[in-house]
Amino acid sequence: MKTVLEPFRIKAVEPFRITTAAERETILAKAHHNLFLVRAEDVMIDLLTDSGTGAMSAQQWAAIMTGDESYAGCRSFYELEAVVRDLTGYRHVFPVHQGRAAERILFGCMVMPGQAVPNNAHFDTTRANVEFLGAAAVDFVAPQAADLAAAAAWKGDLDLVKLEAWLAAQPKGSVPIGLLTITNNRVGGQPVSMQNLRGVSALYRRYGIPFFLDAARFAENAWWIHRLDPEWQNVPLPKIARAMFDLADGCMISAKKDGLVNIGGLLCCNDDAVANKVKNLLILTEGFPTYGGLAGRDLAALAQGLREVLDPEYLHYREASAHYFASHLSQLGVPVVQPFGLHAVYVDARAMLPHIPVQQLPGQALACELFLQGGVRSVEIGTLMFGYTDRATGKPVVADHDLVRLCLPRRVYTQSHIDWVIESFAELMQRREHIRGLDIVEEAPLLRAFTAKLRPVQVPQGAVASRA
């Protein structure tokens, strides 16, 4: 079937302003060709992130009205706790305001300067929270993830061979915690197989290292296990999710993704001593442990979101939307990272715009052109985000890839919106040779992508390429 049947009706609408191409020129110039500096009301279709941008269900809005706002021991907390225990099996459940709060608190309790934390791939904030404590965040990306165009399965896996060799070489007591991110956001939202989850769990156990999942997109990972692994084909999704959580000692969850809420997070664990430390730090910086920096209504909406997210109809629709989007782009000849994940479709901008030298930021150039073409906001994951100027040599250091991430907010856009984005890409493909690169005019020393000012390259391409 060609039509993506969204398994919901729309009860509340949020109109967006339809801008003209000329208006978008002005908007982009004012934002210095940085889409983070564009106001959301000037965006027609916002695919910047799937984090906190989903639509809540009627039942979640109803829960908002019945949330208990008591400071201590609110009913909404106990309802959430019961849902999370049922889902994960973990004894201790702490609400936090979002994923990075869970990271800061958990690492603050467990990680010391000079130590190292392994993961399949740390998300930016996870890495930053490890490094903030003076520890090293070490990634073990599976080898099958290296080729962006290869439709290999389980590209989110952790490289067990490398992890094992690395663990064997670490001094005793220098690895305070082991992580695994499901799905693997840094590697295109690719899933982690149950076999890999088992292997990682066994390795961490063998070395006596507490194992925590970064489970922001646990439902999407469970869906891929159901779809791709014959062993789990006939197993209900909550059982698959539980099997993943059972392999670890706890988890951190940014509930802004598969919690189906606009704000919220969770930190869960089994160990009483860890839970005690977490509780004390939580009180210090987030709030009393039965609300953790959230309103009672947020807890109630999250409990309901977690009840809804493992609905196979919903996850099937999510896969159908991502598949529709990715396959139509591929048919146009747009180089799409394979296989597609559920939370986003990634375009390889270097492959689409080979005439733009990497120093001239092909990913950012493509993201800007997509905005000019269709009022669509995406995000560059490439040299603007991860590149930097080497202090010693003064030379620019480029990223491994220049990708454009087109995130799919949950239950927000319909097939028609996605068709609009596909049609915008069709136009871009027609005139791709004429798309120009960008120069950075101003940049911050850290996290430059968020505030950098850019402008289209001013001189003929050949001259700039030879200068770079």
Q: Judged by CB under 6 A, does residue 99 bind ligand F0G?
A: yes
User: To the nearest whole angstrom, how small is the minimum distance from the Cβ of residue 384 to ligand F0G?
Assistant: 15
Q: Does 360 bind ligand F0G (CB under 6 A)?
A: no
Q: Which of 259, 265, 296, 357 forms a contact with ligand F0G (CB under 6 A)?
A: 265
Minimum CB separation from ligand F0G for residue 99, in Å? 2
The CB-of-102 to ligand F0G minimum distance in angstroms stands at 8
- Name the residue nearer to ligand F0G (CB basis): 49 or 359: 49
Backbone angles phi, psi at 211, to 5 degrees: -110, 120
Q: Select from 19, 34, 49, 76 the one that contacts ligand F0G (CB under 6 A).
A: 49
- 338 C-beta neighbours (distance < 10 Å), count: 18
Beta carbon nearer to ligand F0G, 358 or 376: 376
* Closest listed residue to residue 79, CA positions, set 90, 63, 65, 91: 63
Task: Give yes or no for a contact between 455 and 441, defined as CB atoms under 8 angstroms apart.
Answer: yes
Residue type, 445: P
Q: Among 185, 290, 304, 383, which residue interacts with ligand F0G (rule: CB under 6 A)?
A: 185
User: Which residues, in sequence order, are CB contacts of 183 under 8 Å at separation 6+?
Assistant: 156, 189, 190, 191, 192, 217, 220, 221, 224, 341, 342, 343
DSSP-assigned states of every residue in 447-468 = SGGGT-EEEE--S-HHHHHHH-
Q: Of the two residues 53 and 290, which places its CB atom closer to ligand F0G in the complex?
A: 53
Binding residues for ligand F0G restricted to 376-405, rule: CB under 6 A: none
Binder of ligand F0G out of 19, 115, 181, 201 (CB under 6 A): 181
Q: Which residue is nearest to ligand F0G (CB)?
A: 99
How far is C-alpha 261 from the geometric centre of its chain's CA atoms? 15
Residue 123 CB, nearest distance to ligand F0G (Å)?
Answer: 4
Give the number of other CB atoms < 10 A from CB of residue 376.
Answer: 23
Is residue 210 involved in binding ligand F0G (CB under 6 A)?
no
Q: Residue type at 206?
A: R
Q: Is 216 in the site for ligand F0G (CB under 6 A)?
A: yes
Smaller CB distance to ligand F0G: residue 139 or 423? Answer: 139
Q: Measured from the CB atom, is 278 or 435 closer to ligand F0G? A: 278
Per CB under 6 A, 256 contacts ligand F0G: yes
Which residue stretch of 35-43, 94-102, 330-338, 459-467 sits at the interface with ligand F0G (rule: CB under 6 A)? Answer: 94-102
Query: In terms of Cα–Cα distance, which of 290, 229, 283 is closest to 94?
Result: 290
Say if CB 191 and CB 156 are below 8 A apart: yes
Q: Distance between CA atoms of 39 and 451, rounded to whole angstroms? A: 13
Interaction of residue 214 with ligand F0G, rule CB under 6 A: yes
Residue 35 Cβ vs ligand F0G, minimum distance, rounded to whole Å: 13
Distance separating alpha carbons of residues 314 and 4, to the nearest angstrom: 11
CB 405 within 8 A of CB 371: no
Q: Which is nearer to ligand F0G, 181 or 383 (CB)?
A: 181
**CA distance to 28, 78, 188, 269, per residue, from 422 (Å):** 21, 44, 19, 43
Q: By C-beta, is 300 or 344 nearer to ligand F0G? A: 344
Minimum Å gap between C-beta 426 and ligand F0G is 26
Stretch that binds ligand F0G, among 119-127, 240-248, 288-296, 302-310 (CB under 6 A): 119-127
Nearer to ligand F0G, 79 or 220 (CB): 220
The span of 97-105, 142-150, 169-177, 390-398 binding ligand F0G (CB under 6 A) equals 97-105
97 vs 254: CA distance, rounded Å = 9
Binding residues for ligand F0G, rule CB under 6 A, total 15
- Which amino acid type is present at position 225? I
Provide, rounded to whole angstroms, the least separation between the CB of residue 263 and ligand F0G: 8
- 263 φ/ψ sector (left φ>0, alpha ψ -120 to 50, else beta): beta
Nearer to ligand F0G, 51 or 360 (CB): 51
Q: Which is nearer to ligand F0G, 99 or 289 (CB)?
A: 99
Q: DSSP code of 50?
A: S
Helix (H) / strand (E) element for 178: namely strand 178-181
Whole-number Å distance between alpha carbons of 215 and 231: 22
User: Per CB under 6 A, which of residues 120..139 are in contact with ligand F0G?
Assistant: 123, 125-126
Contacts with ligand F0G, residue ranges (CB under 6 A): 49, 51, 98-100, 123, 125-126, 181, 185, 214, 216, 254, 256, 265
